[in-house]
Amino acid sequence: MTYLETRSGPRVIEPSEMERRYPNTLRYLRRFESVLKRRADYRHYFEPSGKPFYAMMPRPGSFAPWKVVWREVSYTLDAAVAGPFDGKPTVPDHTLILIDCASKDEAHYICAALNSAPARLGVQAYIVLHPDPHILEHIRIPRFNPKDPVHRRLAELSERAHEAAKREDVRRLRQIEEAVDEAAARLWGLTDAELREIRRSLVELQGAEEIEEEEE
């Protein structure tokens, strides 16, 4: 990690501080100094202002303790919650899209909403391979309210789904996914008939995509 989180945001750790606190990291980075100095970002943004050769531009929310992440390149939207590890924030790889969240419950609430059948159908209806952050411009997820029973229900179900996935309990996971769909239907005011139609359409879309993958 070459950044430190401060009240004004992340700042680059200067070489003198790196030498004192993280000497092994600095020695490692110096092995690639010539390569890192050839980066367009370094030449354009950091070199003119005298920043160290290892400086990089962090994504917004990179150091948030709780995040919702999903693959940038994928035929489907499969979101997950990334929380702190050993007391430090998890920083996702650049191939993952992230939403920074204020709390664990908010992250699980958003994750459940995105993984629900209504949201996934909305994404797959117009996205082929790159479910970028702009999907949130088309999928209206109300701001998390811990006092809202539907919001709490979605957050609880997402946490249970993550636990079932860790245990590789596929049967339990499918049951939770069905409950997530039902809670999401309440979130967006969908009827039982509309939810059944959404699920049917999603199955048809997924079947068509599997055929396309086999042909490729």
pLDDT in tens, 70-114: 988 777 789 999 999 888 888 887 788 888 898 999 999 999 999
Please tell me whether residues 42 and 96 are part of one structural domain.
no
16 phi, psi to nearest 5 deg: -65, -40
Please tell me whether residues 83 and 190 are part of one structural domain.
yes
Please tell me whether residues 191 and 145 are part of one structural domain.
yes
**Radius of gyration of the chain measured on its C-alpha atoms:** 21
Please tell me whether residues 182 and 91 are part of one structural domain.
yes
Please tell me whether residues 7 and 76 are part of one structural domain.
no
In angstroms, rounded to a whole number, what is the distance separating the alpha carbons of residues 183 and 125?
21
Contact status, residue 129 vs residue 75, Cβ threshold 8 Å: yes
What DSSP element (H or E) covers 3? strand 3-6
pLDDT in tens, 162-172: 999 999 999 99
pLDDT tops 90 at residue 60: no
| Minimum mean pLDDT range among 4-18, 79-93, 133-147 | 4-18
Please tell me whether residues 96 and 156 are part of one structural domain.
yes
Q: Count up the domains in the chain and report the number.
A: 2
**In this predicted structure, what is the pLDDT of residue 130?**
58
What's the start-to-end Cα distance of the chain, in Å? 40
The pLDDT of 175-193, averaged and rounded, is: 97
In angstroms, rounded to a whole number, what is the distance separating the alpha carbons of residues 176 and 184?
12
Please tell me whether residues 82 and 125 are part of one structural domain.
yes
pLDDT tops 60 at residue 215: no
pLDDT in tens, 146-183: 999 999 999 999 999 999 999 999 999 999 999 999 99
Please tell me whether residues 118 and 75 are part of one structural domain.
yes
Q: For 12-15, which contacts have Cβ atoms below 8 Å and span 24 or more sequence positions?
A: 12/51, 12/52, 12/55, 13/52, 14/52, 15/52
Within a domain: residue 170? yes
Within a domain: residue 61? no
In one letter, which amino acid is 92?
P
| Structural domain span for residue 122 | 66-215
Please tell me whether residues 203 and 136 are part of one structural domain.
yes
